[in-house]
Amino acid sequence: MLTPSIDCRDQSITADFTLSNNLSVLRDWRNCYTSGILWTTVPMFTNTSQTTKSNMAGIAAFLKNAWNKEPVIVVSCAIGVSAVLIPLVSPYTKYSGMMNKAVPYNYPVPVRNDGKMDDIPSHPSEPKGPNLDWFKNL
């Protein structure tokens, strides 16, 4: 485990730290800055993207920290995510889509078929087109 180290004497700041020590490093940076020393170099931090248990622990720590600081924002984000995901797995969405496909959007004017109109039933009460038998069998 690396420990934070701050060197303000030669007008440069170097820092090696882990996530658990970043607050003390930032506090030391502030002390160097307020002491009137000009920063000449800013350290670059590399991001290692390896999926490990520490990444999951970091996500859990982030969520715990966010919940402790701003619970209203965490709840609103959770509601937003659930509003996006729940319709994708809801059976209500499936069956309402099936009903919308079976019921026409525009209804034809009830006219009598003269033999040349195949898509219009000969009588307004004649069942023609997609039916809702699957809905009756539920």
For the segment 68-78, what is each residue's pLDDT rounded down to a tens digit?
999 999 999 99
pLDDT for 53: 74
Coil, helix or strand for 83?
helix
The residue ranking higher by pLDDT, 138 or 1, is: 138
User: What mean pLDDT comes out for the span 34-59?
Assistant: 62
Cα angle 7-8-10, degrees, rounded to a multiple of 5: 95
Check whether 46 has a pLDDT greater than 50: yes
Give the Cβ contact number of residue 12 at 10 Å: 15
pLDDT for residue 76: 97
- pLDDT score of 3 more than 80: no
Nearest-angstrom CA–CA distance, 35 and 55: 36
Q: How confident is the model at residue 7 (pLDDT cuts 50, 70, 90)?
A: low
